[in-house]
Structure formats: structure tokens, C-alpha cells
Amino acid sequence: MSKKISIIGSGFSSLSAACYLAKEGFDVTIYEKNTSIGGRARRLKKDGFSFDMGPTWYWMPDVFEKFFADFGKKPKDYYNLIKLSPAYKVIFDTENSVSISDDYNKILETFEGIESGSSKKLSKFMDSAKLNYEIAINNLVYKPGNSITELITPQTITKVDQFFSTISKDTKKLFKNKNLRQIVEFPVLFLGAKPSNTPSFYNFMNHADFGLGTWHPEGGMYKVVEAMHQLAQELNVKFVTNASVDKILVENRTVSGIVINGEKIKTDVVLSGADYHHSETLLDESYRNYSEKYWDKKTFAPSSLLFYVGFNKKLENIEHHMLFFDTDFEKHAQEIYDTPRWPKDPLFYASFPSVTDKTFAPENNEAATFLIPIAPGIEDTEEIRETYFKIIIERLEKLTNQKLTDNIIFKQSYCVKDFIEDYNSYKGNAYGLANTLLQTAFLRPKLKSPKVKNLFFTGQLTVPGPGVPPSIISGKIVSELIVKSQKN
């Protein structure tokens, strides 16, 4: 009889781990507290509109390809990918914007047109970024984060200085133009930290951006969730929704079961893909590996104020992905990380997927998602949400030269309280732990509990870090640890 593995949560890391473990012959069940699977990548459907509630960017397509290839599959077996052109547009003011092409040579031309000589500097920077990407993907990100020795390879030894400088320092040396610096610094924001706190080695995210391009799965990111769900079912993974885990049971310092909706369920292994801090609260205190003090001192990636909005007309002067950098980048970052508060003049991101994909909105309508990055743990009220919605809509109207307020059919907000309620997210963070120098690799929370046998963790609070591709990788890494532990 195969060993039973119970997985808490159904986000990307859990789905990934479930597939690998089922492939190895384990009896795998995923328990999800919400009514639908996907974790932060759930989908909202309303009045003919569709929204990806969480991730909207499809970067690092090679990671998705590697995942499906491990099961003899390809992404195209489940969904169709569209390469976005432009990849995204950055707005600096009413007269100043930059569109990032889907063609690397055109990106070089764009930079050169803004600052003479910058294309050669960008090209050299990108050569480094590509090499770092290859090192990261081939030598680092698939490691379990057990010790510093995982970081020491013939390739990384030559890059050691890049772990002690920062992306921000690099861009200031390269470009005089502030806007170009912000564009180059933008990809590392996906890692959840300020560019001034992100090691230079992480410029591999620029290769993910300019080098590999920005893609869109037809039907949205939830199509990837559906694909992994389908694959998991093909491998006989079972799914139980509306299943809130109340307790992880331990006997003789070994997992014995879980309590779901008050019912005890025996299991041989527990893997939690839920919020790491919350997962440990499901244990008696003596079995927890990290204290409240530990979590409080950690640098978390931002939370978000999100709005899902339906418009009754097609909008003008927009692209699929848009970054509104028309306010002070540094000041907003300080209001997230240094002196947590609601930002006075927030930067924001807007996604208009119906520009590319007709499935997101009724004909001649537009679906929009707006995101303001904010500090986790700050006050969250309907009044505050409404104030910020007015701020960004007014700026959107000004910067795209159109009136929009009267064309809003509906809007739905999502913020700190919702992240806590739906995902048990620590302080309502949206992306897990930031990838700073002191929160990299072996310095992140461990995949395997040192105090409880057969208890494991996965997801964006552990290795390799925040984001969809890292979460998929995290699921693979932890599955290998589980397989090894059960075969010994």
C-alpha cells in the first residue's frame, strides 16, 4: 500500500509537488480551504468578465517547459502562448513613455534613442544577465537551501562580488537617464525587495524580461493552474476543496495526521504549501521551527491593493501590461520597506488582458486589473481603498487622455484583509519573503522541518523565492526531499 501524502493548499508549489509525488507512486491528496484551487492564482468571473486574481505575468517560459517535460508533456498540450508585443509600456508622464519591444535589438535601439551610448552598456549588462540566468537555472535554483555550499560552484565563485553589490548601484553606474534606470530595475521588483537591497547577481531577471520575453497564456494565468490540475488528476492526485486545516497532528515527533474541518485524517507525510508562518501555527508550539520574533524581523515582499474593473467600452492608449512610474519611485519604496505606511503618491501597475485576449471581456468592453504595491500589515479599510481607486483612475485618465469614470460597470477590490482571510498570509503579504542577501538560498525558511519527521514546506516563503516559476521549482525540490526521506 502506497504512503499517503497530504498537501495543504493548492497554489503552484503544491500543484507542482503533487504531480512529482504522484508520479513516484504516492497516494496524494490536496486540501484547499477555498472553494476553488489555485491559491493566489485564482480566477474571478463576473458579468461576462474574467480576471486573474493574482499573477498576470508569464515570464521564464523555460521553467514551465521543464516542468511539463518531466511528465512527457508540453505547455501547448494544455494552453496556447502568445508573445506580447510590446511586452509592456512604462508611463513616466503625459509626454514621456517607453514601450518595451518583444525584440531585443529594438530594445537596444530604444535605449540608444533616449541616451547616447546606452545600448552598448545595456548589451554588456545583458550578457552578464544571461550568464547569471544560466548559472541560476542550471546550478542554484533547484537546490534545497540546506547550506552555503550549494552556492559555491566553479561558476558562482567568479561571481562572488555580485552578491555584495546591488542592482541599484549597477544601474547608476551604467545609465545617466533616471527612466532607463527604473526600467532596468523593474524586473527585480518581482523578487520582492528594493533594487538597492537586491544583490547584483539577480540581474538574471533582466534576461527573463528582455531576453526571454513576456508571454500570455490564452485564457490567462489560470489556464496554467487548470493545466497543472489536469496533469495532477491524470496522475491520480485527489483534490478536496472547502477543506480548512485546523491542526497538524504529531506523535513521537513524527507526523501522524491532520485535522480538517474538525475531522482527523491519518497521513504519513504532510506538505504545506500554505503560508509558512500560518502552517507552523497548526503545530504545538514546541514543534515550531521559527518564533514570532523571527517572522517579525524578516523583510517581506509587499502586499497589494488590487482592483478588478469592468469598463463598458474599449479603452484608448493602453497596452496589455502598463507600469505607471509617474511618481517618485524611491519614495514609494521607502513607504513600503523603511517607514511602512500608505504611499502618498503611489506607483501602480495596470493589466488590460482584453487588449490581447477576447475571453476576458464581453465584446467592446475592457477588463482591467490595477495593482498598488503597499507595505504588509498596514491598516486596510473600504474608505482607504476607495481613496486610492480615485487617485489611480484620475491619473489613468490624465495619462491616457480619456474619461473613464462614467464607463465603469463594476469594480471589486482586494487588499491586506483579503490576503489574510483567503490565504492566511502573514501580515497580508502578497509575495512571500523578499530575496535580499540575508534571505537568499540557505538563509530562507527550510523545506524540511528539523523538529517533526515527515513534515515539509513549499512555496514562496522558502527556496527559491517569490514568483510563479520559483514556486513551481519549489514544488519539485521538496518532492525530491520527500521521495528521498521515504525511501531511506
Taking the mean position of all CA atoms in its chain, how far away is CA 455? 24
**Separation of alpha carbons 132 and 199, rounded Å:** 12
| Residue 163: all three cell numbers together | 552578491
pLDDT recorded at residue 74 = 98
Q: What is the DSSP letter of 31?
A: E
Query: What one-letter code names the amino acid at 478?
Result: V
**Separation of alpha carbons 444 and 141, rounded Å:** 13
Taking the mean position of all CA atoms in its chain, how far away is CA 262? 32
pLDDT recorded at residue 488 = 67
- How many other C-beta atoms lie within 10 A of the C-beta of residue 334? 16
DSSP characters over 288-316: -SS-HHHHHHS-BPPEEEEEEEEESSPPS
pLDDT recorded at residue 340 = 96
pLDDT recorded at residue 200 = 95
Identify the residue whose cell numbers are 482607504.
384
Nearest Cα residue to 305 out of 372, 350, 367 = 372
Question: Which burial class, exposed, middle or buried, applies to 138 when counting CB atoms under 10 A from its CB (0-12, 13-18, 19+)?
Answer: exposed
* Helical (H) or strand (E) element with 471: helix 468-487
**Separation of alpha carbons 374 and 306, rounded Å:** 10
Per-residue confidence in pLDDT tens, the chain, 488 aa: 689 999 999 999 999 999 999 999 999 999 999 999 999 999 999 999 999 999 999 999 999 999 999 999 999 999 999 999 999 999 999 999 999 999 999 999 999 999 999 999 999 999 999 999 999 998 899 999 999 888 878 888 888 889 889 999 999 999 999 999 999 999 988 888 999 999 999 999 999 999 999 999 999 999 999 999 999 999 999 999 999 999 999 999 999 999 999 999 999 999 999 999 999 999 999 999 999 999 999 999 999 999 999 999 999 999 999 999 999 999 999 999 999 999 999 999 999 999 999 999 999 999 999 999 999 999 999 999 999 999 999 999 999 999 999 999 999 999 999 999 999 999 999 999 998 989 999 999 999 999 999 999 999 999 999 999 999 999 999 999 999 999 86
Counts of helices then strands in the chain (DSSP H, E): 15, 19
**Separation of alpha carbons 41 and 336, rounded Å:** 23
Taking the mean position of all CA atoms in its chain, how far away is CA 299? 16
Tens of pLDDT, residues 154-169: 888 888 889 889 999 9
Strand partners, 199: 166
**Separation of alpha carbons 406 and 311, rounded Å:** 9
| Bridging pattern class, strands 4-8 and 269-272 | parallel
Within a 13 Å sphere around the CA of 244, how many CA atoms are in the beta-carbon half? 9
pLDDT recorded at residue 75 = 98
- The CA-CA-CA angle for residues 336, 340, 345, to 5°, reads 60
